[in-house]
Structure 1
Amino acid sequence: MYSTLYQLDSSIIRSEAEVETRFLQKLFADLGFPPEAIVPKEHIPALWLTDGRKRTKKEVDFLLKDPNGIARIVVEAKDPSKNIFDAWGQAASYALSINKDKPYDKRIKWLLISNGIMTALYPHDSNIPLLTLQLSDFASGMPPYVALRTHIKYAGMLPASKKALTFKPLPPAELNKLFMTCHNMVWKAEKLAPHDAFFEFCKFIFIKIREDKKRQTYGPEVEPYEMPLTLAWLKAQAKTSKHPVRDILFRELCEELEVKVQAKKKKRIFEKNETLELKATTCKTLIEKFESVDLSSIDEDLNGRMFEVFLNAAIRGKDLGQFFTPRSVVDFMTRISLRNIDLENIPIILDGCCGTAGFLIETMAYMTGRIRNDSRYNERDRIKKIEHICNDCLFGIEANKRTSRIARINMYLHGDGGSHIFHGDGLEESPKPTIDMTDEEQSETIDQANTVKNELFDIILSNPPFSMNVSIQQTPYCENC
């Protein structure tokens, strides 16, 4: 059994101590816990529990604290030969003893038990695990691992203030279901073609993620009516705007992106005078559905990439004239092509038929995950290398204009700082600007031609189109295929 995320084989985990050092310490770091939030067993006082005349000593291996310094997770490590489910009683007894004299908002919430091969997450008051993971589940994009991060990552452990609305991330399956339900609602309510409905829904999700990330900076004094994309905010805006999502939030987003486009830091996602086509009533329904959902970590939590998974599912198939590579194939091809990369010499990667950027997102996740878990780098070096990957190492070309812009949204939301996604034909040998192109489009075509001509790519990772016809007379094109 093998974890691709931690580059860890079960055969080298032979003792409880190795479970702690080889597996749990990597897991804690990946969940975002700083050293001061991880309390090892030598600093945890033992508890003596009395059952009649018998006194029992209870100890645990780690306590994990939230950003306020309150212990929230009891962690128990076991030898790989031991059954983790037999350890629930000890962890639960310890949590019960800690919690009995504490108010609800300062109690232990979770029990995490692992022998390296199997890992289980329990609510503190239940003997039924919420999640059970094998070592192989600790891999980029695996739903059990994404769900684990959703529940216990460090950044998500701050309690909501009494005045604030409750925002929470959803498990992957629930989030995908919500996305699909809302997309179908938009399609029917707006009477748009599926592809157009999806692009309009993407605009709303783009706004939602942007506002959720801004909300992370709000203090407890901020009232719900001051938080965009809440029903209270919508009601407060009604006096000055009939469609505040379009007239305020989408306009602000476009203005922010336009500054980056003009500075040549971003490629265009929306046209200069583009607007949000969704009706105000449709936006209100979407706000009702998403009001309490936290999407702020959708780009940070690269291992989930739920937006990309939903995106491919929503616009898949012949009715839209496009096909998308199955996620399992994307994952396999990425790992095969990157298995021997040198983190000191990050490769430059191109997807010449990138679609919605699935390969590039997976590549970004794989390489940044390797860097985050490499003990050779300090935090400053990690940030610098990850920025280099996102800004300088990933390139894509997509022939469909709308799809290329969806790919740019996808990359933007997942942390790409440069969005090197070209709208053009990735199989064309020497793309040239035409007279019907705008100045911006001509510049992009020249940029694409120069980028390809310079042959700066170390890896080509792509699934060329198989749903199109090419005549034999198009010799250069066929040779490139």
Structure 2
Amino acid sequence: MQETQKLELQYNKEGKIYSPLGKRYKVATPEEIIRQKFVCTLVNSYKYNLEQMQEEVKTQKGKNAARADIVIWKSPKDKQDKNPPLIIVECKADTIRISEGDYAQGESYARLTNAPFFVTHNNYETRFWRVIKDKMPGFTQEIANIPENNASDKEIDKLLKDLVVFKEDEFAKILWECHCHIRDNDKFDPTKAFDEIAKILFMKVYVERKLIKGEADNKFTIEYVKEAEKYNPNYLEWLFNETKKEFAKDQIFIDNEKIELKNATIYKIIERLQIYNLSNTSSDIKGVAFEKFLGQTFRGELGQFFTPRPIVEFMIEMINPQENEVSCDPASGSGGFLIRIFSKVRELIQQDIIKQYEAYKQSIVKDINNITDIEAKKLTSKKNELEKQLETDTQGTRLFKLSNHCIYGTDANDRMARTSKMNMIMHGDGHGGIHHHDGLLNINGIFENRFDIILTNPPFGSNVRKENTIRAEDAQTYLNNNGEVSYTEEKKEQIENYYKTYGKETYQNAQRKILDNIGKPIASLFALKPNLESDKTEHLFINRCLDLLKPGVEWESFCQKVCLIRQMQNMCESL
């Protein structure tokens, strides 16, 4: 049997891109390239024929009626008979993530044409949707994929039950149900139950990362686990060890950590989570749901009080963080302040990318309705150049800098430090600067006179006792026989990276503040501001915040803001 020829992008000598649906060469604008790439995907991956598709289809009558980018019918005959289509595809610009407005636009086209499915697509993400026709507009269901050409009703039904993304309330509810099942079945206290559900969540993230990279088998299903255990009785232990390797650099799990649940409990949780696609769930939904779960777990059960989200958002708006400003929370808790700073600045960067692209477009395009080939090439080149700045894993990009050099936090509670890292991963990234460490002491990039922004809810109501002294293990380096700051061989690369990032002399001075005071009370590090007491934790943290800030902050103004924020939080907690 002869293999079907793949559909590939075609350009002519003038640089125009061929539209197989329009049967003509078109100016290769960035937007047009996105559309033609997806046409190739529909043909090559989903097996649709060009004869059952059409581009730029009016979704309603009228001179200025909107046009759907790509429309797909069940068959060429359905298209010819002008029957309702099967799928509407809305291709969007690549400069930002697809927004809710884009989903609404795709849904509108689908409802107007009576199509049961629609797709929103750019090079960042492709999201698949099912229109619920007996519900009001806005009520859609995100699904794992669209059906392939000639899919049977049974195959479509299986598709609709396949990996789907979470809705916010649904994710939070399922996490809580899994958490309660651990407590009821294994009799763990709330904190221990939280630790165990976190391990399984990251095991699922690991498996999904493998699927994205092309691995054929979904190892996070109850069917796969039961089959794998026939050949490896310790399959779940093996899978968790592989997960630990995946997140080793993030320092989320310790080397000898294990899942301590009964196998029956793990099976139940896998069965509950297996149909959902955590990786494709937007960071906004995933992050908010994870925070709700944290609130239920820690606030209600443990007495751990997190700053209410409205207060956090108010503070972020008041501070108005900007790109390249360095931020810190020395008592980061679940990471709420740092997450909002990261999200706010990421949004500013995305908006600036759009602004730059649109300004460039206006500067070179003479007629927006008749873009020339030369103009299109310039636009594509500019788009590719700007989009690189939105990559989080490429050194030197704007988002890499934000994620790795502008967000810092620490918490003395190891569970909270781990939770903060998890929370930031759920929200998109920026977790690399989070540490399990006493917030009053220097670590990594957290030291004096360095930060543009300090946002924190310091621990209130406790005392720092005289026996709370500085230990040698609180430092990341040590003093050699000559009294010089040095380090062990295994830490050589890490410390040298710190030297490059912060400056060798600056970093060594920050470490000396610990090394020169080993055995002394932590409170002795601070020259306390007026009216602050050396044994009050919140007073030392206020002093620490001022020390961490770059010079120039007025003491009275700082205290007034701290008092205002604390009063607002007290009001929220009393409601």
TMscore range, shorter length: 0.5 to 0.7
Q: 3-state SS of the aligned residue for 2:253?
A: coil
Change in Cα spacing, 1:89 to 1:459, as seen in structure 2 (3 Å) is closer
The Cα offsets for residues 101-139 of structure 1, whole Å up to 9 and x where unpaired, read as xxxxxx65489xxxxxxxxx99374472234xxxxxxxx
Q: 3-state SS of the aligned residue for 1:186?
A: helix
Q: CA deviation at 1:44?
A: 2.9
Q: Distance in 2 between matches of 1:458 and 1:253?
A: 36
Q: Distance in 1 between matches of 2:107 and 2:540?
A: 65
Asked if the contact 1:302/1:365 (under 8 Å) is kept, the reply is: no
Structure 1 counterpart of 2:449: 455
Are 1:61 and 2:52 counterparts?
no
Superposition pairs of residues 150-299 of structure 1, within 5 angstroms? 151=142, 158-159=146-147, 162=155, 166-218=162-214, 222=216, 226-245=217-236, 247-258=237-248, 260=249, 266=250, 268-298=251-281
The Cα offsets for residues 441-477 of structure 1, whole Å up to 9 and x where unpaired, read as xxxxxxx346333422110011112353457452797
Q: What is the aligned counterpart of 1:379 among 382, 387, 393?
A: 387
Structure 2 counterpart of 1:309: 291
1:363 alignment partner AA: I
Q: 3-state SS of the aligned residue for 2:247?
A: helix
Change in Cα spacing, 1:338 to 1:151, as seen in structure 2 (3 Å) is farther
Q: 3-state SS of the aligned residue for 2:177?
A: helix
The Cα offsets for residues 408-428 of structure 1, whole Å up to 9 and x where unpaired, read as 2223344436621122232x2
2:306 alignment partner AA: F
Change in Cα spacing, 1:459 to 1:240, as seen in structure 2 (3 Å) is same
The Cα offsets for residues 282-320 of structure 1, whole Å up to 9 and x where unpaired, read as 11001111111111134x524651353234223333742
Structure 1 counterpart of 2:469: none
Q: Structure 1 stretch 417-426 or stretch 386-395: which is displaced more? A: 417-426
Q: CA deviation at 1:90?
A: 9.3
Structure 2 counterpart of 1:410: 423
Asked if the contact 1:352/1:462 (under 8 Å) is kept, the reply is: yes
Q: CA deviation at 1:256?
A: 3.1
Q: Distance in 1 between matches of 2:280 and 2:191?
A: 26
Q: What is the aligned counterpart of 1:400 among 405, 409, 413?
A: 413
Q: 3-state SS of the aligned residue for 2:408?
A: strand
Q: Distance in 2 between matches of 1:89 and 1:212?
A: 27
Change in Cα spacing, 1:35 to 1:302, as seen in structure 2 (3 Å) is farther
Structure 2 counterpart of 1:358: 336
Asked if the contact 2:59/2:109 (under 8 Å) is kept, the reply is: no
The Cα offsets for residues 208-240 of structure 1, whole Å up to 9 and x where unpaired, read as 122123223447xx4xxx321112211211213
Q: CA deviation at 1:389?
A: 0.8
Work out the percentage of aligned pairs sharing the same amino acid: 26
The runs of at least 4 aligned residues of structure 1 exceeding 4 Å deviation read 33-39, 45-48, 56-59, 64-67, 87-94, 156-165, 469-473
Structure 2 counterpart of 1:466: 460
Q: 3-state SS of the aligned residue for 1:404?
A: helix
Asked if the contact 2:169/2:289 (under 8 Å) is kept, the reply is: no
Are 1:128 and 2:136 counterparts?
yes
Structure 1 unaligned regions, length at least 5: 1-28, 49-55, 76-86, 100-106, 112-120, 132-147, 261-265, 432-447
Are 1:44 and 2:56 counterparts?
yes
Q: Distance in 1 between matches of 2:59 and 2:242?
A: 55
Asked if the contact 1:110/1:123 (under 8 Å) is kept, the reply is: no
Question: Higher relative contact order by CA 8 Å / sep ≥ 6: 1 or 2?
Answer: 1
Q: CA deviation at 1:157?
A: 5.2
Size of the aligned set, in residue pairs, is: 353
2:263 alignment partner AA: A
2:291 alignment partner AA: V
Change in Cα spacing, 1:159 to 1:313, as seen in structure 2 (3 Å) is farther
Structure 2 unaligned regions, length at least 5: 1-29, 40-54, 73-85, 92-104, 121-128, 358-385, 392-396, 466-532, 543-575
The Cα offsets for residues 293-348 of structure 1, whole Å up to 9 and x where unpaired, read as 111134x5246513532342233337424211112222222222226x2x4xx211
Q: CA deviation at 1:271?
A: 1.7
Task: State the superposition RMSD in angstroms.
Answer: 4.0
Q: 3-state SS of the aligned residue for 1:350?
A: strand
Structure 1 counterpart of 2:97: none
2:417 alignment partner AA: S
Change in Cα spacing, 1:458 to 1:35, as seen in structure 2 (3 Å) is farther
The Cα offsets for residues 232-278 of structure 1, whole Å up to 9 and x where unpaired, read as 21121121333422x121111123333x3xxxxx4x22222111111
Q: Distance in 2 between matches of 1:181 and 1:151?
A: 22
Q: 3-state SS of the aligned residue for 1:316?
A: helix
Are 1:425 and 2:419 counterparts?
no
Change in Cα spacing, 1:127 to 1:207, as seen in structure 2 (3 Å) is closer
Q: Distance in 1 between matches of 2:427 and 2:464?
A: 34
The Cα offsets for residues 346-400 of structure 1, whole Å up to 9 and x where unpaired, read as 2111011110112112221221122223222621123221121111111011111
Change in Cα spacing, 1:302 to 1:58, as seen in structure 2 (3 Å) is same
Are 1:320 and 2:381 counterparts?
no
Change in Cα spacing, 1:362 to 1:453, as seen in structure 2 (3 Å) is closer
Structure 2 counterpart of 1:95: 113
- TM-score w.r.t. the length of structure 2 is 0.53
Q: Distance in 2 between matches of 1:252 and 1:57?
A: 58
Q: Distance in 1 between matches of 2:255 and 2:234?
A: 19
Asked if the contact 2:71/2:87 (under 8 Å) is kept, the reply is: yes
Asked if the contact 2:117/2:130 (under 8 Å) is kept, the reply is: no
Larger Rg over CA atoms: 2
The Cα offsets for residues 22-66 of structure 1, whole Å up to 9 and x where unpaired, read as xxxxxxx9xxx9566899xxx734479xxxxxxx65874142559
1:123 alignment partner AA: V
Asked if the contact 1:74/1:95 (under 8 Å) is kept, the reply is: no
